[in-house]
Amino acid sequence: MGILAGKKPREEAKIPTSSMADIAFLLLIFFLVTTTIDVDTGIGMTLPPELDETVEPPPIKERNVLKILVNEAGQVLLEDRPSAINQIRAEVRAHVTNEGRDARYSESPRKALVSIKTDRQTPYNMYIQTLDEVWMAYFEIWDVEARKLGYSNYQAFRVDLKPGAENPIREIYPAQISLAEPDSGE
């Protein structure tokens, strides 16, 4: 009996925590390897809604439309003149910011329209390059406007804009790009 009573008190059981860091590290490395933090980048567009075929589209003056045609070989026709892709940007800028001065270009930025038309055989790459140039022209116009308002560029202006608020620059210079249905290419 004396032996039992004199039993040493048991030591409290402890979970070893020294390996906790290692376990956490292993998990961390697993997620590090599997993570892909790639944000999808691209050129955003809004398609026109499905049209009622009985309703005639509103008439648009010929001078307000800048027509860009891209054929199956990737050659560009700018207002019926054969052009290089890198000429598009300057032409779009001239067209949009014309303010009615030159009779070949648009009457006002709000009426200005850029139309891109391709063949069914046009490579997608050429189409994206054309669209990219048109968008870059608008970006440059917006940059100039943002600088007039005291921002370093359009991006800085956008960041400063409250979410949901109207964008005064795009109000004056809306990007109106029309994607025409392609010809069959025959």
Partner 1 sequence: MAGHFTKKEKPKPEISTASMPDIIFMLLIFFMVTTVLREQEVQVRTVLPKAEALTKIEQKRYVSYIWMGPEKLEGRRFGETKVQIDDAIIDDLTDIRNIMYRKLTEQARLIVSLRVDEESEMGIVTDVQQELRKGGTLRINYSSKRDISNQ
Q: For binding to partner 1 (CB under 8 A), which residues are involved?
A: 17, 20-21, 24-25, 27-28, 31-32, 34-37, 39-50, 118-125, 127-129, 131-132, 135-136, 138-139, 179, 181-182, 185
In whole angstroms, what is the distance from residue 120 CA to residue 186 CA? 9
State in angstroms the smallest separation of the CB of 127 from partner 1: 6
Q: In the complex with partner 1, which residue's Cβ is closer, 107 or 156?
A: 156
Give 63 or 74: the residue with its C-beta nearer to partner 1: 74
- How far apart CA 98 and CA 112 sit, in angstroms, is 9
The span from the CA of 145 to the CA of 155, in Å, is 11
* Chain centroid, CA 171 distance in Å: 18
Single-letter residue type at 128: I
Nearer to partner 1, 31 or 148 (CB): 31
- Inter-CA distances, 170 with 32, 139, 145, Å: 40, 10, 10
Nearer to partner 1, 17 or 54 (CB): 17
